[in-house]
């Protein structure tokens, strides 16, 4: 069985491409699949989502740590050119290699639809959660929305969607040809947690994740700023992550009791979950993200936005605190003050979530059974 594995060049894979050394971060469902498929008869193709120095045209490179080489398809600002180059190259590669199965993430919608409609091979379409732009496609107002809608309606052999609380099942029911194709929604996994802690003398408020507006980081920094002015020196704030809003947050939250950590080894993240008095997640796109699942599995106290969509896994949120999406800052300040009054909320019951090994095994089984 020969497999084409073509996905977007996620930010967590970009550093590996630049350094030519396999050291991925983020998107575990992608890089863990790559590591497992590396022992199979496979061709890896990464399609860039931004311009990268040294990659003006399609190039095959080797990464220290992977047995197979990786094709890099560069980014073009013009979308018509971008989609044409991706589709043309992947079809050309298929004519040469003769793939039995092809795996595309939703960033490669048009190549996936072309392969499906031309019956090149069996196509597995992978949806990494539902983004606002994907919901807007349902409006079918513009030409591009109508084209995307038609592409999503292709009769893929199988569709796998991440259950991150962004409304995947509802969106697929409205957009995909679910009457004719099998679909599966899968929760992500977690790595085994340890019991180590980080020693602190003050209550700790923890943030883990990208510093982007849709993650709610601006509301978080505003709430911390208000709390710091009311209760100076009473608590610690630890922010683990990086992103475009880092400079703004550093200015807004400036204090000797605020610590920014851009990156830490993934096998050490559990120390911070185990040590915090409150973990904050204001992700506006879903409430079952990777970091939230890690926090839930660790049993640390959690505050998050009220879920926008119901899922089969909402029982995982038992014992969590919620703040309104419409008045997030005031709600968050209220939760923080409650934490300080009671010197923390105490641990929740850790929740058993399937391991990443079992999660990836399930996806590999789907691919193998097709």
Q: What is the DSSP string of 170-187?
A: HHHHHHS-TTTS-EEEE-
Give the whole-angstrom CA distance, residue 89 versus residue 370: 25
Query: Distance from CA of residue 119 to its chain's centroid?
Result: 30
Largest CA distance in the chain: 67
Q: Mean pLDDT of residues grouped by 10 in the chain (370 residues)?
A: 95 92 88 95 96 93 96 96 97 96 97 95 96 93 95 96 94 92 94 79 92 94 94 93 92 90 82 92 92 92 92 90 94 94 77 93 93
Q: Please state at what angle helix 28-37 crosses helix 356-369, rounded to 10 degrees.
A: 60
Give the whole-angstrom CA distance, residue 54 versus residue 217: 33
Can you give the pLDDT at residue 116? 96
182 and 324: one domain?
no
Q: Element (H or E) spanning 73, and its range?
A: strand 70-73
141 and 254: one domain?
no
69 and 215: one domain?
no
- Which three-class secondary structure state does DSSP give residue 17? helix
**Per this entry, what is the length of the chain?**
370
Give the whole-angstrom CA distance, residue 180 versus residue 183: 10
For 360, phi then psi, to 5°, come to -70, -35
Instruction: Report pTM.
Output: 0.90
Can you give the pLDDT at residue 201? 85
Can you give the pLDDT at residue 60? 97
- Return the CATH number at 39: 3.40.50.2000
Can you give the pLDDT at residue 179? 85
- Domain of residue 25 covers 3-189+357-369
Can you give the pLDDT at residue 234? 92
Can you give the pLDDT at residue 9? 95
**Residue 24 resides in a domain:** yes
DSSP 99-143: -SEEEEEGGGHHHHHHHHHTT-SEEEEEE-S--HHHHHHTT--SH
Give the CA angle between residues 211, 189, 357 to the nearest 5°: 130
**Residue 195 resides in a domain:** no
**Residue 226 resides in a domain:** yes
337 and 238: one domain?
yes
The answer to whether 280 and 205 are in contact (CB under 8 A) is yes
- Which three-class secondary structure state does DSSP give residue 150? helix
The answer to whether 157 and 122 are in contact (CB under 8 A) is yes
**Residue 156 resides in a domain:** yes
**Residue 45 resides in a domain:** yes
Give the whole-angstrom CA distance, residue 96 versus residue 109: 22
230 and 136: one domain?
no
Q: If we measure between CA atoms, which residue out of 252, 360, 257 comes closest to residue 35? A: 360
For 60, phi then psi, to 5°, come to -100, 130
25 and 162: one domain?
yes
Q: Is the dihedral of CA 281, 283, 288, 293 positive or negative?
A: negative
Task: Let me know if 54 is exposed, middle or buried by CB neighbors in 10 A (0-12, 13-18, 19+).
Answer: exposed
245 and 163: one domain?
no
Can you give the pLDDT at residue 191? 85
Give the whole-angstrom CA distance, residue 276 versus residue 202: 10
**Tokens found for residue 252:** 């807004």
**Residue 350 resides in a domain:** no
Give the whole-angstrom CA distance, residue 206 versus residue 281: 9
Total domains in the fold of the chain: 2
333 and 364: one domain?
no
Q: Which residues are CB-contacts of 126 (< 8 A; sequence separation ≥ 6)?
A: 7, 103, 104, 105, 106, 159, 160, 161
183 and 209: one domain?
no
**Residue 117 resides in a domain:** yes
210 and 182: one domain?
no
**Residue 289 resides in a domain:** yes
pLDDT digits 0-9 by tens, 72-130: 999 999 999 999 999 999 999 999 999 999 999 999 999 999 999 999 999 999 999 99
Can you give the pLDDT at residue 219? 96
């Amino acid at each position: 069985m020969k497999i084409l594995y073509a996905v977007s060049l996620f930010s967590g894979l970009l550093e590996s491409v630049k350094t030519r050394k396999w050291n991925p971060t983020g998107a575990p469902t992608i890089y863990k699949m790559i590591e497992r498929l590396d022992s199979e008869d496979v061709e890896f193709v990464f399609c860039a989502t931004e311009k990268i120095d040294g990659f003006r045209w399609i190039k095959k490179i080797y990464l220290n740590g992977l047995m197979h080489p990786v094709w890099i398809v560069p980014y073009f600002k013009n979308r018509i050119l971008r989609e044409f180059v991706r589709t043309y190259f992947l079809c050309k590669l298929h004519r040469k290699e003769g793939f039995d199965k092809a795996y595309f993430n939703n960033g490669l919608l048009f190549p996936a639809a072309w392969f499906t409609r031309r019956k090149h091979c069996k196509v597995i379409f992978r949806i990494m959660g539902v983004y606002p732009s994907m919901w807007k496609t349902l409006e079918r107002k513009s030409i591009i929305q109508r084209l995307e809608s038609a592409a999503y309606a292709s009769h893929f052999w199988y569709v796998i969607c991440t259950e991150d609380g962004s409304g995947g099942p509802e969106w697929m029911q409205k957009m995909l040809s679910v009457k004719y194709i099998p679909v599966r929604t899968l929760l992500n996994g977690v790595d085994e947690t340890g019991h180590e802690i980080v020693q602190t003398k003050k209550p700790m408020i923890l943030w883990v994740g990208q510093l982007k507006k849709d993650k709610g980081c601006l509301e978080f920094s505003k709430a911390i700023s208000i709390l710091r002015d009311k209760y100076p020196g009473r608590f610690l704030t630890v922010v683990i992550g990086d992103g475009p809003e880092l400079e703004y947050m550093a200015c807004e939250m400036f204090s000797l009791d605020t610590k920014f950590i851009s990156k830490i080894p993934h096998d050490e993240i559990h120390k911070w979950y185990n040590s915090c008095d409150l973990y904050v997640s204001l992700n506006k796109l879903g409430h079952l993200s990777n970091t939230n699942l890690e926090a839930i599995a660790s049993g640390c106290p959690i505050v998050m936005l009220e879920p926008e969509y119901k899922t089969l896994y909402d029982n995982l949120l038992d014992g969590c605190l919620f703040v309104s999406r419409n008045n997030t800052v005031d709600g968050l300040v209220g939760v923080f003050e409650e934490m300080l009054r009671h010197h923390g909320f105490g641990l929740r019951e850790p929740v058993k979530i399937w391991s990443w090994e079992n999660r990836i095994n399930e996806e590999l089984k789907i691919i193998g059974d097709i």
